[in-house]
Amino acid sequence: MNLDEALHTFIAESRELLQNMEDALLRIEQSPDDEELINAIFRAAHTIKGSAGLFGLDYIVAFTHVAESVLDRVRNGELRIEGDLVAVLLSSCDHLVELIEHLAAGSGDPTAEIQEKSKAIAACLNDYLGSDAAKNTNVVLTTEPNQTCTSEGGGEVETDLWHISLRFGKDVLRNGMDPLSFIRYLSTLGDIHHIFTLLNNIPPAVEMDPESCYLGFEISFKSNADKATIEGVFEFVREDCMIRILPPRSKITDYLKLIAELPEEELRVGEMLLRCGTLTQAELDAALRLQHGDGTAAPRPLGEVLVEAQMVSSPVMEAALDKQKQVKEHKSAEANLIRVDADKLDELINLVGELIIAGAGTNLIAQRTGDADLLESTATMSRLVEEVRDSALKLRMVQIGGTFNRFQRVVRDVSKELGKDIELVISGAETELDKTVVEKIGDPLTHLVRNSMDHGIESAETRLAHGKPAKGTLKLNAFHDAGSIVIEVSDDGGGLNKQRILNKAIERGLINETDNLSDKEIYNLIFEAGFSTAETVSNLSGRGVGMDVVRRNITALRGTVNLDSVEGRSTTVRIRLPLTLAIIDGFLVGVGTSVYVIPLDMVVECIERAAWENAGGDGRYINLRGEVLPYLRLREHFEVEGEPARRENVVVVRHGERKVGLVVDRLLGEFQTVIKPLGKVFNRISGIGGFTILGSGEVALIIDVPGLMGQGVVEMERNGQNAESMRALN
């Protein structure tokens, strides 16, 4: 992997980590003592900081270090989670997103504006660290050379000098070793700034043995040598003495950086500390002996032994354990997931579509030849192609929960801006749909959520006056229904005022005063362009822009939107979308020389002419087993030339709660359909959702059932049908 690829991977992973961090921050307000959430937030910041250091992104490292320091205090119980702290951490998360996006855009070093923003947020974070801790963070939020974030603490040593603690063994002189010669040799590796001789082990004069050594030394030593080299000075007396070598503060910083830069390999803690130089092999061997003791008790964790014996400082050990956990989690995730470019998935879907079309042509040739072996072979191929199609489509299926969870932040911020207490309740988050649909549904949902909070849910005082709880509830729900996905946005607010909507619609000339509309028709008037009943304009709503955009965007996805409301109690906006925009199972019908495709999941049943001709009706609707069923003749609707077939059929289709019959000449059976979009010249044709290519090479139009149902109301008005029949269609 080259540097550019590695950087792109870092950017992608950082985006995911920051999204996870935001989700955890939004949940932690309700569960401030949830250690798992606190650790998840800390790990996200820690991972981004460590990875950024690999690429020399000091401005990201520096800023993240301050946030990490605050999170560390939370993790240690020194700070308690509360609203203001969460707000600052969310701002930090947002700013990290900004820094990552700045990096992704290839814009070079952060602008002066971004640096000022970094300093302002860091100042807010430093308020939670206290003056001393803030001073220790020593954050520099620029990209000037040699200006980086300093250590996470300094362990036991708070200077830039090595500290060597020596306790020579009693028999070192008898073994022919001179303690002072080792100290003199040590000075060849650097400068001894201070040496303190320990005399506390010297016995009374009468008990002294002239051949025994009773001295110990505490040495402050400045050197650029590494720990292993310094330890090597005392190689010949290691077995006869106790040696502790504690690194300077700057070295601890280096160790932390080296640990963060270690490759994504599953290493033991001891191996990790050996690689970064904070631990020597001799120390590791000694620690392993201490760990197992006499073998009678269960071995203690190696990290605990190393810290207790002062071989490794606590911050370094903590960083090593975090790195080990991070690698394990990453490896576990990698075992189950693989990153695939979305464009490659789209290309695969297109190729599967072409395969379906080619397969249909092969089936047609096989049927014409009548060869039994060829028919069996093509049947097997068709089955396999269908399985490949289903598998390919599943690759693009994602859970809608990721989209829903983003609104936790929207609800939190907007409710504070409005001065309302609003809770978001999410259900059906595991419901899956096509990634393309998920990407395009975000903006319409944002409009609906903000509209519900601004217009729908009342203030706490108003709610209490009407016998409601002071806290409002906004619900996001998703579920599958008849091959579609239904998304509901509902609130327990004041509902819609029908009279106000009617008055506004009459004022704008959308309807006449004499029109007799159902409740649903009245409510759906709010989706008209520029329609608004807001008495005041805010930065959230009231300008008449939004609801018409919602309907337009959803219609572009071959979906529908409708609205239900109970005045004073609730409002629910219901969006119905296809699960995928690429390939569907279709039902072929013929009208004259034209062929049409109806989405199979919307087909309820087919009725022959003899069955429905005697069922009663007035020429526009029939009595189908006691149910009023409106119907449309596709021949008339699409102005197909020629005489109707002698034996017409009715295809009963359902969309949501509505049913309608489509009168056709012929039923041609099921067909796997690759949806091709219409060109710009034809994309506004009502009742047509696209086209497909048949195995014969002919073009078949795909029926847009929801659009056809809506247009049926207009046709019935034109033909003078009564309002009751119209409502049966609607």
Query: Is the four-CA dihedral 42, 44, 45, 46 of positive or negative sign?
Result: positive
Residue 207 annotated to the active site: no
Q: Identify the active-site residue in 451, 553, 649, 730.
A: 451
Q: Which of 323, 227, 211 is nearest to 272 (CA)?
A: 323
Q: Are strands 422-427 and 216-222 parallel, antiparallel or unpaired?
A: unpaired
Q: Identify the active-site residue in 22, 46, 637, 715.
A: 46
Q: Identify the active-site residue in 22, 68, 231, 715.
A: 68
User: Cα 130 to chain center, whole Å?
Assistant: 34
Query: Helices in 77-173 by DSSP H: which ranges?
Result: 83-104, 112-126, 130-137
Are 729 and 630 a contacting pair, CB within 8 Å?
Answer: yes
The single residue listed with the structure tokens 């072409």 is 354
What are the contacts of 563-566 at 24+ separation with CB within 8 A? 563/496, 563/520, 563/523, 563/524, 563/526, 563/527, 564/520, 564/523, 565/495, 565/496, 565/519, 565/523, 566/495
Are 636 and 719 a contacting pair, CB within 8 Å?
Answer: no
User: Cα 293 to chain center, whole Å?
Assistant: 47
Phi first, then psi, for residue 115 (nearest 5°) are: -65, -40
Residue 330 annotated to the active site: no
Are 448 and 550 a contacting pair, CB within 8 Å?
Answer: yes
Residue 68 annotated to the active site: yes
Are 528 and 548 a contacting pair, CB within 8 Å?
Answer: yes
The one-character DSSP state at 650 is E
Q: How many Cβ atoms from other residues are within 10 Å of residue 284's Cβ? A: 20
Q: How far apart are CA 342 and CA 348, in angstroms?
A: 10
Could you tell me the two tokens for 358?
């080619």
Amino acid 541 reads S
The residues assigned a catalytic role are: 46, 68, 451
